[in-house]
Amino acid sequence: STPSYGAAPVEGMEAQPAVHPVVGEINRKRNFRAVLGAAVVVSPFVFGFVNYKGGASSAASSVMSALDKVKSPISSSVEQDAEYDDQLSFVASNEYTSIQGYAGKDYPWITEGQLAEPHKTTTFTSTSTLDSDVLARMNLAWSVDGSDEEVTGSFKYVFEQPGTYNVKMSAYDKGSGDLVASTTKEIISKYVRREIRTLTDDDREAFFSAAEVMYKTELGDGKKTYGDNFLDVQWFAQLHNTLAGSRECDHLHDGLGFLPQHAAFTLMFEKVLQLVNPVVTVPYWDYTIEAHAVLTEGSIHAWRESIVWSDDWFGEASPEDKVVTRGRFAHTPVVGNAWDLTDTTNAYGFVRAPWNMNKEKFVTRHNYTYG
């Protein structure tokens, strides 16, 4: 069925049809162990420099060679190839580069202009150090992993998967069509997470729209539409609540597991978002921006008036009746009657921590404690 994008209140508090597979195992064994493995394969960025081996056997031929260079600086000879190869270079960029600079350049395993982002248009531009008159006599051609060459000044390409790719830029003599020189650069395609305010309007809307699908699509319908790896937000909420709300131990927030387990949760959530829209990444929220506004204005109102809480983003921060009633996440339901789904519920049977006595059937927000 088609996912609903409406924001109408949900009647009742029906339980999920089946026990959460992971939570069910936790309820039986009460012993959770998480193994998070990540393998990052980074190939070095290598330039192959070829020494110029040209040279004449006599003074006369040396003079003639010099004159030939003045008359026609481009030659298809092997010697000329070697001379120009190490003067060819290029960089990769996208719509964020001109505003934010080259992403990832501070990592030791990546160089400036080496990063591309999956499902975004990457522009390759020559940064060659050849004289302008020499470049003017060249046609540039581009290929990716041995694909057919495309002749163009700057080259646009969309990488459909993360990984490493060999991008080749070749220079041909405009007159003869002969290959003059070429260079190949390893391009690393990786997703980039950005602060939510620094996203383009289109990228931010893509994130919220994909999240909305996770919030408003039932698990079975989502798997039919987006594949077997789809998970709805209730799946994440129930698992987080069970691990964090255990009376025996907070498995998510106590000890050294805090950072890696939340990193794993974020990655899992992001993978599902990318089933809905492969361009999406999970942005981060730099709330020190709001903290600075509070200190500057001397009022907590600066926090609640942040754009983060606008209706088009996450919705109001502190609604009068504690329930979010505006925006795309208005009246987001909490699973109720959950006693048969998990051992971790509140006294009212909602998927909330046992010490959380909130009996509201929708997600609530409030800026007071015991208030």
Helix (H/G/I), strand (E/B), else coil: 236: helix
> Where in the chain are the domains?
59-93+97-189
pLDDT in tens, 88-136: 999 999 999 999 999 998 999 999 999 999 999 999 999 999 888 888 8
- Assigned CATH class of 59-93+97-189: mainly beta
Strand pairing of 115-116 and 179-189? parallel
Ranges of H-type helices in the chain? 21-29, 59-71, 78-85, 97-100, 132-135, 201-216, 219-226, 233-244, 258-276, 288-297, 301-304
Spatial separation of the C-alpha atoms in residues 16 and 175, rounded to whole Å: 71
pLDDT in tens, 295-322: 999 998 888 889 999 999 998 888 888 8
Q: Calculate the alpha carbon distances from 254 to 36, 235, 246, 258 in Å.
A: 17, 22, 12, 6
Residue 114, pLDDT score: 97
Q: Calculate the alpha carbon distances from 318 to 30, 119, 154 in Å.
A: 36, 37, 50
Cα-trace Rg, the chain: 29
- Digits of tens for pLDDT over the chain (371 positions)? 444 333 333 344 444 556 676 666 666 655 444 333 333 333 333 333 333 333 434 444 443 444 344 334 444 433 355 578 888 999 999 999 999 999 998 999 999 999 999 999 999 999 999 888 888 899 999 999 999 999 999 999 999 999 999 999 999 999 999 999 999 999 999 999 999 999 999 999 999 999 999 999 999 999 999 999 999 999 999 999 999 998 888 989 988 889 999 999 999 999 999 999 999 999 999 999 999 999 999 998 888 889 999 999 998 888 888 899 999 999 999 999 999 888 899 999 999 999 999 999 999 988 766 54
